[in-house]
Amino acid sequence: MNNEEPTRPSWWIYILDCDGRLYTGVTTDPERRLREHRAGRTRAARFTRGATSVELRYAVAVGGRSLALQAEYRLKRLPRAEKLTLCERSPSAVELLERIALTR
């Protein structure tokens, strides 16, 4: 019998480039979510369904679901230029959360 605690999935925040437009989301599996967005079916976000090119620009595991949703909310409100800078710098989760004024 396994006495270990079940591990909780880590939640990720990610930014996609969809034909030059940026999309921010959360997931427990970035690769699966990217496939869903690229497929463009009902599992994809409405924002990404019509895109001909969907590329992952940034992804980082931030911990629990609540924290990921808070980070998504704050990231979505950043100006495009700041989101592009985040994608270029690819900060760690700690750096990202500090940047958007969230702490673990």
The per-residue DSSP string of 3-61 comes to -SPPPPPPEEEEEEEETTEEEEEEES-HHHHHHHHHHTSTTS-HHHHT-S-EEEEEEEE
Backbone Cα Rg of the chain: 15
- Domains belonging to the chain, first-starting first, are 11-99 (3.40.1440)
The reported pLDDT for the residue numbered 5 is: 52
Residue 1 has a pLDDT of: 46
CA–CA gap between residue 89 and residue 19 (Å, rounded): 21
Q: What is the model's pTM?
A: 0.88
Q: What is the pLDDT of residues 51-98, one digit of tens each?
A: 999 999 999 999 999 999 999 999 999 999 999 999 999 999 999 999
pLDDT in tens, 4-59: 555 667 999 999 999 999 999 999 999 999 999 999 888 888 899 889 999 999 99
